[in-house]
Chains A and B, each alone.
Chain A
């Protein structure tokens, strides 16, 4: 079995594929219900949060959006970016043994985790919408699919750029890996997962609007329910955040890439 001559693009593709398979095995292969768990975990969290909110303020919807769907959109998008940030921070150190093969670059490990996280979130979202429609009879549909896709793509780019930078910092400064969840978790409460921006006093809104995740969550709700007031948030801000995050991540990676593999 002689070795084939391959282009660097082919090598890159096969490495990322190999890493995705490797991540799948270690992430979901541990438990027998590994893949089911990926759906069950957000579903349970959403139900718990939705029940808590209903208990606090009754069953009336948030501007036409049923409580469960409102929380679901916010929680899934928040979960996506915070989980990607955390996994990206550890991506390079967790795969350090594999850099013994020259084909495997640190960047590939971050990309593989980002792709996996994105695909898992998309599948979870589809299944959760299906469960909401058939089991809870909520009639969830996407009014403006183009906007919804754009919001998700921009959030993916924002999270990936940030994740790439965090992966570099996390490798060079291992304490950071513990710090990242400490920062991202409290952000659950200021990202608009549990409340619409419209109920926040106007003088406080500008502070919350620095958070790109809030923009993504509100814009996603708007794309599904056109009557939802997403004033203040914008796709443009999210796009800016995505471009800045990608540029920052690439810059940090290019500057430090030689320091990442050296043992």
Chain B
């Protein structure tokens, strides 16, 4: 379970504090896949960074009683001058693997990422899709209770989508996912509940469809035909 208690996060700007989260109270139960929705700059990534423990709130507390992954996004997490293999080894080492454990885990990462010779090339030579692949591969090599995905699939090809599908299937019942994405169709498919961030206000919804509906209402984002159909089934 993840619990946010009176969490506030702001960034100082020349025009005063810009609040991303203001006095947020939230409980995410275990075993639910959560979609985080919001327009660009609404603080989705900041929320994930707070959950992943690489940023801290200005006030309030975040309680997490499970093993949570680092947030996997388009930026960060890979050292460009190191090869994919060295990056994988680095993560194994910071998680305290012995040499034998590291060998086994790096092998599984290499197989899952399926990058061929690129696995032994510096990460800065990778395309963004390849970076997403190796980030996904490294994280699923560890048994977290909760994985944080930050638009990881947005640059992936059809094969990448197939890989994430297999991850969701493999980890079902063992782990859950908190996903930031702009692909509403996939979120509806993969997630149970939704969190919508809009203008510093955070709202959570037990049902993903309610969340999607609210998201379209407050943001006024154009609705795709395929999603409209699903919404009408739920909210006639």
- Specify which chain B residues have a CB less than 8 angstroms from the CB of A96 in the assembled complex: 76
- Specify which chain A residues have a CB less than 8 angstroms from the CB of B71 in the assembled complex: 100
Give residues of chain B (27-77) contacting chain A, Cβ–Cβ below 8 Å: 52-56, 67, 70-71, 75-77
> In whole angstroms, what is the CA distance A22 to B174 when docked?
32
Using CB atoms, name the residue of chain A closest to B73: A100
Please give the distance in Å from B23's CB to the nearest CB on chain A. 20
Give residues of chain B (100-155) contacting chain A, Cβ–Cβ below 8 Å: 101, 104-105, 141-144
Q: Does A10 contact B (CB under 8 A)?
A: yes
Q: Does B96 contact A (CB under 8 A)?
A: yes
- Specify which chain A residues have a CB less than 8 angstroms from the CB of B96 in the assembled complex: 4, 6, 10-11, 14
Q: Does A39 contact B (CB under 8 A)?
A: no
> In whole angstroms, what is the CA distance A22 to B70 when docked?
20
> In whole angstroms, what is the CA distance A101 to B52 when docked?
8
> In whole angstroms, what is the CA distance A261 to B86 when docked?
22
- Specify which chain A residues have a CB less than 8 angstroms from the CB of B53 in the assembled complex: 102
Q: Does B161 contact A (CB under 8 A)?
A: no
Please give the distance in Å from B64's CB to the nearest CB on chain A. 11
Please give the distance in Å from A256's CB to the nearest CB on chain B. 14
Instruction: State the majority secondary structure of interface residues on A.
Output: helix
Chain A positions 67 through 104: 1 when the CB is less than 8 Å from some CB of chain B, otherwise 0:
00000000000000000000000000001111111111
Instruction: State the majority secondary structure of interface residues on B.
Output: loop
What is the total of A-B residue contacts with beta carbons within 8 Å?
73
> In whole angstroms, what is the CA distance A104 to B101 when docked?
20
Q: Is the CB of B76 within 8 A of A22?
A: no
- Specify which chain A residues have a CB less than 8 angstroms from the CB of B67 in the assembled complex: 3
Q: Is the CB of A3 within 8 A of B94?
A: no
Give residues of chain A (16-69) contacting chain B, Cβ–Cβ below 8 Å: 17-18, 21-22, 25-26
Q: Does A204 contact B (CB under 8 A)?
A: no
Q: A22-B86, A102-B53 are in contact. Are A97 and B93 (CB under 8 A)?
A: no
Q: Is the CB of B142 within 8 A of A1?
A: yes
B52, B78, B82: the one within 8 Å of A25 (CB):
B82
> In whole angstroms, what is the CA distance A238 to B52 when docked?
43
Q: Does A183 contact B (CB under 8 A)?
A: no
- Specify which chain B residues have a CB less than 8 angstroms from the CB of A3 in the assembled complex: 67, 95, 142-144
B54, B79, B95, B141: the one within 8 Å of A14 (CB):
B95
Q: Is the CB of A258 within 8 A of B56?
A: yes
- Specify which chain A residues have a CB less than 8 angstroms from the CB of B56 in the assembled complex: 258
